[in-house]
Amino acid sequence: MESLWLGAEKWLVVAVLGLEMVMGIVGNSLVLLVKVKCRGQFCCCYWLPFVSLTMSDLGCSLLIISSSLFAILTGGQRSPWCEAVSLLKFAFISSSIGSIAVLCVQRLIGRASTGRIPFVVMVTACSASWVTGMVFGIIPVVYTWVRYDPAEMLCAVFWESSYSDMLVYILCAFFICIFIPFTLIFICSLLRFTGCRLTSETREIRSSCVSTDSTKAKKLSLLSDDEADLSAVTPLLVATYMLCYSPFAVAELILLGKLDLSPAPSWLRTLSSVMSYLDCTVNPLIYFSHQDFREAGLALLWTKQLSEPVLSSVTNHEL
């Protein structure tokens, strides 16, 4: 394990982590700045899950990716920062998928989800995703299951006691933190896709008719407003999260299948860390793929305009 990061491989991983850290910090900081200072320049009805997701990505870039980069350069992590990183990683993973699930639910419900009572429910759901991540992150710390993993490049959970403890913990964490939000995402995405298909068919019917009733026009107006909202990037956020966290899920499934409690292969654990960090880096790019949000960001950065020359004085020269 000591010779895991020697030679060119070490510096390749350092370069990748450094790039992900810089892009994650700069990108998510800029996203937060645009969301706060330019809210009137783009449509964002469901700002709560977006802010929660961006805060999670920024925290991961600032604390987790930088810790992994420093650990691979120095050869490890020391207590108590070792345990803190393990706890925070659980919190960021849980809050990310929880925020995406809340966003999918709000898109399915529509503008009604921004009312007082639904908004309180959404705030509770986002907070619950953070709290459950913190709870499942602190359990391994309390039972001293955490130690530094060179392959994962941070402190992770290692099982040395019993298979039953590991099985109960992983199944509970997976069901509460992953399975429930994933089920909501899948159901809402499926219903949303079906609804969009129906609305698209309505649009085709409308284009083929000479006259259109007010109900159809209202539906088309709502569809147009929804496409202009920042939540239109939700499918990309869902697809990116599933792709980036697939290696992490596979590594956990491999661990569940081994009765000797041996972890997944080193290369898979390294890939799971790099890919999970990539999600924090890609999300800001997804936000800026939305035209109105991108224009608001460019307008914020382009605050200093070239001023026209001003005539301040006139000097007469006699010939």
Q: Averaged in consecutive runs of 10 residues, what is the pLDDT profile of the chain (319 residues)?
A: 61 91 94 84 86 94 92 84 90 94 90 83 92 92 86 81 80 90 92 64 40 43 60 92 92 80 84 93 92 86 54 55
Range of the domain at 150: 8-296
Q: Is 302 part of any domain? A: no
Secondary element (H or E) of residue 147: strand 146-149
Q: Is 310 part of any domain? A: no
CB 122 within 8 A of CB 49: yes
List the CATH number of the domain containing 33: 1.20.1070.10
Residue 157 forms beta bridges with which residues? Answer: 146
Q: Is 246 part of any domain? A: yes
Distances (CA, A) of 29 to 246, 284, 313: 26, 9, 44
Q: Is 74 part of any domain? A: yes
Please state, in angstroms and rounded to a whole number, the distance separating the CA atoms of residues 291 and 47.
17
CB 160 within 8 A of CB 130: no
Other beta carbons less than 10 A from residue 145's beta carbon = 19
Helix/strand/coil (H/E/C) assignment for every residue in 39-52: HHHCCCCCHHHHHH
The residues, ordered by sequence, that sit 6+ positions from 64 with a Cβ below 8 Å of its Cβ are: 85, 88, 89, 92, 154, 277
pLDDT for position 318: 57
Q: Report residue 109 as tokens.
A: 């419900």
pLDDT for position 306: 40
Q: What is the distance in angstroms between the CA of the first residue and the CA of the last residue of the chain?
A: 87
Please state, in angstroms and rounded to a whole number, the distance separating the CA atoms of residues 56 and 159.
27
pLDDT for position 314: 55
Q: Is 311 part of any domain? A: no
Kindly state the DSSP code that residue 62 receives in the 8-state scheme.
I
Of 45, 68, 88, give the one whose Cα is nearest residue 275: 68
Please state, in angstroms and rounded to a whole number, the distance separating the CA atoms of residues 89 and 120.
26
CB 28 within 8 A of CB 284: yes
Split into its structural domains, the chain has a count of 1
pLDDT for position 202: 41
Residue 156, classed as helix, strand or coil, is strand
Q: Report residue 202 as tokens.
A: 């309505």
Q: Is 16 part of any domain? A: yes
pLDDT for position 19: 95
Q: Is 53 part of any domain? A: yes
CB 69 within 8 A of CB 77: no
Q: Is 315 part of any domain? A: no
